[in-house]
Structure 1
Amino acid sequence: MARADRTQPEATAPAASQPTIVRPYGDTTGDGMVQVSFTLPIPHDKKAEGAAAQLAAKMGIDPAMVVHAKPMGPDFTFFVVYGTVNHLVDVSKVRVVERDFPELTSAQVNQTIRKRLRRKMSVVGACIGTDAHTVGIDAILNVKGTAGHKGLEYYREMKVVNLGAQVPVPDLVEHARTERADAVLVSQVVTQRDAHLTNVRELSAAFREAFPAEKRPLLIAGGPRFDELMAAELGVDRIFGRGTTPGEVASYLVDALIVRRRERTHA
């Protein structure tokens, strides 16, 4: 999948006003102050607070101040710790997935689909495996969308099929074949024991087996615990993380399908 790995280090050096090496900021610039929260499986008492301070010290927070402690039932305690770290961050070595496609309005998306594909774009979405959390896939697909952004059902040039929750991968493959899907969107919220990674690898393998490479739909995975750098490793074309809007997904789909068609034409 040629479009899977869109990762690269920063291409240009930061501007003079933006330092390359940075430290956390709390009260004054570069003071290294951080605030962390966690839960320990012990009842709340003085010893519990001492245990929280010890853990924070092992995390490199020194001095560490336990600024909040609250019992979470009889056997657990929630803590907030504030303190200083000496670690530095080299911004020039940070690797992220940059947006490598133009972000279009809904009107531009519809117009591009009409002009370039000359038919409606077919999109199938689902939560696979045992994942019953449809909030993510619904936010992208349902017409009401999220945070004021209309979902893909709003786009007149898209035919959207939302299969909902707990869809077995073979069923998703069959629906994609029946709908002649241009793209398959999968949302994964349940991440215990890396279930989201296992499920997406199964998805990728199933589609590779069921479709020849030139007819395989775009495979897009999304969810709050995915690392966007893992698209190639998981065998999908793109991973979208938290905060993704339907407009971003629509823009990507249009760009990726046009680029794929162009590459196929010139192959």
Structure 2
Amino acid sequence: MTTVENEATSARPTPDIVRPYGDTTGDGMVQVSFTLPVPHDKRAEGAALQLAAKMGLDPALLVHAKAMGPDFTFFVVYGRVNHLVDLRQVEVVEREFPLLSPKEVNRAIKSALRRKLVVVGACIGTDAHTVGIDAILNIKGFAGEKGLEYYNEIKVVNLGAQVLVPELVARARAEKADAVMVSQVVTQKDAHIHNTTTMSAAFREAYPAGKVPLLVVGGPRFEEGTAQRLGVDRIFGRGTTPGEVASYLVHALVDSKEKR
């Protein structure tokens, strides 16, 4: 096939209605994994196939089953679904601000604020996973981008893991934080949702109306578009880079100030 033919093939428009792809195009094959609270035996495998059938997999093939201790079994099931996906009904949250280089971020902050922009970050509650917050704040950064510590016009205060909400509020007040960033990885029993709403309520109680720092939350299990419901200004999901966060800070704190 020639280069022109390759380009033509890759430029083929995506259909509006699609079906899952497994072995061949449009075969509807999917693979799912789950755990049942039963010991691993033939009855457990039958229960897994029953669940798969109720999920709409027909036929369903049990491809993996492994005991997880004496009372639980982990399963992987492969099967066909008849469901279709309508791409016209998919809602996407678009980024509403331009991506800036570190120089552009520093220049904007210095020009508008005439001081350093202060960011306080932490993992709150029982969450001890600092990889996410460190990737954004620490100078080593993430995905080839240096963290916010690299920016000359940003002061970063990283409180680390398992920080109590009252401690976070107190430190933010002491540092006169412009923005507070919280990372939440632990999601058992919706701990990330509870911690976020608790944190938001605590800040709004501790600060006068209109004086609350920018509240930014990140984590792999947050849903896009739920920031308002959780009481925060912005939610960042998996794959977010320091450059995106820095650009958002300029958009939310610097550009908005200039417009006022």
Equivalent of residue 169 in structure 1, options 136, 154, 165: 165
Q: The residue matched to 1:252 in structure 2 has which SS? A: helix
- 8 Å CA contact 1:96–1:229 kept in 2: the answer is no
Could you say which structure has the greater relative contact order, defined with CA pairs below 8 angstroms and 6 or more residues apart? Answer: 1
Relative to the length of structure 1, the TM-score reads: 0.87
Structure 1 gaps, min length 5: 1-14
Whichever residue aligns with residue 256 of structure 2, its letter is: R
Q: Distance in 1 between matches of 2:184 and 2:65?
A: 32
Q: Are 1:72 and 2:68 an aligned pair?
A: yes
Equivalent of residue 127 in structure 2, options 121, 128, 131: 131
Alignment correspondent of 1:7: none
Q: Distance in 1 between matches of 2:258 and 2:18?
A: 42
Q: Distance in 2 between matches of 1:182 and 1:199?
A: 20
Matches within 5 A, 1:227-242: 227-242=223-238
Alignment correspondent of 2:46: 50
Alignment correspondent of 2:215: 219
Structure 1 pair 73/209, CA: closer, same or farther in 2 (3 Å)? closer
- 8 Å CA contact 2:30–2:78 kept in 1: the answer is yes
Matches within 5 A, 1:35-184: 35-184=31-180
Deviation track 1:7-32 (CA, whole Å, cap 9, x = no partner) reads xxxxxxxx981222221111222211
Q: More displaced, 242-251 or 37-46?
A: 37-46
- 8 Å CA contact 2:183–2:219 kept in 1: the answer is yes
Whichever residue aligns with residue 18 of structure 2, its letter is: V
Structure 2 gaps, min length 5: 1-10
Alignment correspondent of 2:190: 194
Q: The residue matched to 1:36 in structure 2 has which SS? A: strand
Equivalent of residue 21 in structure 2, options 7, 20, 25: 25
- 8 Å CA contact 2:108–2:254 kept in 1: the answer is no
Q: Distance in 2 between matches of 1:156 and 1:33?
A: 51
Q: The residue matched to 1:261 in structure 2 has which SS? A: helix
Deviation track 1:196-239 (CA, whole Å, cap 9, x = no partner) reads 21221122122222223433211001111111221001111000
Q: Distance in 2 between matches of 1:204 and 1:228?
A: 17
Q: Distance in 2 between matches of 1:57 and 1:252?
A: 45
CA-CA distance at 1:76 after TM superposition: 2.9
Q: Distance in 2 between matches of 1:89 and 1:247?
A: 33
Deviation track 1:105-136 (CA, whole Å, cap 9, x = no partner) reads 22222222222322211100011122222222
Whichever residue aligns with residue 91 of structure 1, its letter is: L
Q: Are 1:209 and 2:186 an aligned pair?
A: no
Q: Distance in 2 between matches of 1:96 and 1:239?
A: 14
Alignment correspondent of 2:3: none
Alignment correspondent of 1:12: none
C-alpha root-mean-square deviation of aligned residues, in Å?
A: 1.9
CA-CA distance at 1:146 after TM superposition: 2.3
Alignment size in residue pairs: 250
Whichever residue aligns with residue 117 of structure 1, its letter is: L
Whichever residue aligns with residue 70 of structure 1, its letter is: K
Structure 1 pair 201/74, CA: closer, same or farther in 2 (3 Å)? closer
Q: More displaced, 165-174 or 57-66?
A: 165-174
Q: The residue matched to 1:215 in structure 2 has which SS? A: coil
